[in-house]
Amino acid sequence: MEDDLADLLLRTTKRIRHAQSRRLAPLGLTPSQARALRVIVRDGPLRMVDLAGRLGVVPRSVTTMVDGLEAAGLVGRAPDPANRRSLLVRPTERGHDARVRMAEARRAAVEEVLAPLSADQRRALRDLLAVIDEARDCGHGA
């Protein structure tokens, strides 16, 4: 049963990711860039190493993400006043606007995948996933 459940969860997550990728493509963003931009808008300005830590990735992979976001005009880099050797990444006005469109794309992707569920089933699924998420925060599980 656990194998079936794991497979179902992984397939559903993959479907959501693919639906999200399709909806982010017109914005010129990959899911990784969108995730980085969400964190930068929410928590920024951030040093690159701090952004990597929040994303759970190695710092050199953040450089590529931020390069793409900067080329699109969604973020900018500036010297950190507290440490001139560090750069801070902060969202631009276009980055804030893109964050709104990204949230819409994400909601639409989830809606697409969860369309077969009734409102009650969606609430039940949300509640069950929240229990799992809270257990992670309390130190139960990885």
Over the range 99-136, which residues count as b (16 or more CB within 10 Å of their CB) and which as e?
Answer: beebeebbeebeeebbeeeeeeeeeeeeeeeeeeeeee
Q: Please give the C-alpha separations between residue 15 and each of 8, 25, 66, 94, in angstroms, as whole numbers.
A: 11, 15, 26, 28
Torsional class of 28: left (φ above 0), alpha (ψ -120 to 50), beta (otherwise)? left
For 54-77, write each residue's pLDDT tens digit: 999 998 999 999 999 999 999 999
- In the chain the domains, ranked by start, together with CATH numbers, are 16-116 (1.10.10.10)
Instruction: Say what the pLDDT of residue 62 is.
Output: 93
pTM of the model as a whole: 0.79
For 98-132, write each residue's pLDDT tens digit: 999 999 999 999 999 999 999 999 999 999 999 99
**Confidence class for position 1, pLDDT limits 50, 70, 90:** low
Q: Is the pLDDT of residue 95 over 60?
A: yes
Q: Would strands 46-47 and 83-91 be described as parallel, antiparallel, or unpaired? A: antiparallel
Q: At what angle do helices 31-43 and 59-71 cross, to 10 degrees?
A: 90
**Confidence class for position 137, pLDDT limits 50, 70, 90:** low
Q: What average pLDDT does this structure show over 27-44?
A: 93
For 18-34, write each residue's pLDDT tens digit: 999 999 999 999 889 99
